[in-house]
Amino acid sequence: MDSHRRTTVDAAVLPAGQTFTGSGTTGAGQFNGHRQAAMDAGSFHSASERILKAINTVIDGKADAAKLALTVLLAQGHLLLEDVPGVGKTLLAKTLARTIDCSVSRIQFTPDLLPSDVTGVSIYNQSSRLFEFRPGAVFANIVIGDEINRASAKTQSALLECMEEHQVTVDGDSYKLDEPFMVVATQNPIEMEGTYPLPEAQRDRFMARISMGYPDKDSEIEMLETHQATSPLTKVSAVVTSADVAAMIATVQDVYVSQAVKEYTVSVGRATRASAMLRLGASPRSMLQLLRAAKATAALEGRDFVLPDDVVGVAESVLAHRIILDRKAASTGETPQSVIRGILAKLPVSQEMSNSSVRGSGQGQTPAHELRRGR
């Protein structure tokens, strides 16, 4: 059975609070209600390398984007891919989904798309004389939302509860979504006709935003040689199971964060709120997601503790789409990314802070030296 087909509609009645299990996917939903055991260092390293290798065979010259996409998945966040047409936004989303043996659905956002197409709808069954819930496309482990800014604000808002609380409420009844759950959305920032820009509340639900950018010359030549006859996506198969991903997420959750790193993270957020160049600074939710992304980064780098450099490394991707420039700053050529870089430059990391990040690691986690060796 194809585990990557669109989630089918189950005619059975789903009681409120019950988890909907994706169709035909082994392991989907079995992690709800209890915490999965963490993965050992060697298995974590091997699994992450398999995922990245599979993505990089399809997306030429975008290793950083592939790694950030995996970081967001392991940090239990959602990903926004924003760039001009034709640079591989949807291809990256579909490739990431195919590397995992779990349920996947794809939603093509259009102006006439209704919220019930996303979340599901209650339909009256004449034979049983009961209303039955028909799950929408959001009931999957990985949901690909293509051109999300083409749907109306009403339809976009249907994702708010799903992304934040991992549940859907229809007609007063709540239905839990399967874990792991991730929304990967794409949008085109150039074309304005027939689009509805994401409001601040919606953008804040996405952990990170990636701008793919154009490939370099060698990567583009490689693409011309390998993508002519068939798409490399057809050769991609699942390299990890949903159980593996759940275990990798549990490993990331066990990564140690010192008090100094927490204080540094908060200082970054408070600096955005105090900046004269910004009308809107980073939200408290973004601080939490920034630290989660930093923990996933540390684990992928082979450490069981977070360094301030991990926070710096993901700060631009996590924060830039959440802040709003002051008009004066925008008129002088500043961008959200340049403002974040300026703030980070004014918050130097001391050696003492880096040393304190190491202290306390290994308290129930995998020793750092073993993670470095991938053993």
- When pLDDT is cut at 50, 70 and 90, the band that residue 47 belongs to is very high
Higher pLDDT, 364 or 290: 290
Task: Check pLDDT > 60 for residue 236.
Answer: yes
**What's the mean pLDDT in 286-315?**
95
* Cα 155 from Cα 115, distance rounded (Å): 5
At 13 the pLDDT is 42
Ranges 75-79, 119-123, 350-354: which has the least confidence:
350-354
Measured at the alpha carbon of residue 294, what is the angle toward residues 292 and 298, in degrees to the nearest 5?
120
* Cα 169 from Cα 136, distance rounded (Å): 12
Supply the pTM of this predicted model: 0.82
Residue burial 340-366, b: 16+ Cβ < 10 Å; e: rest: beebbeeeebeeebeebbbeebeeebb
Quick: pLDDT tens for 52-104.
Answer: 999 988 888 888 999 999 999 999 999 999 888 777 888 888 899 999 998 88
| CB-count exposure of residue 213 (10 Å: 0-12, 13-18, 19+) | middle
Cβ neighbour number for residue 217 with a 10 Å cutoff: 9
- When pLDDT is cut at 50, 70 and 90, the band that residue 38 belongs to is confident
| CB-count exposure of residue 280 (10 Å: 0-12, 13-18, 19+) | middle
* Cα 75 from Cα 22, distance rounded (Å): 22
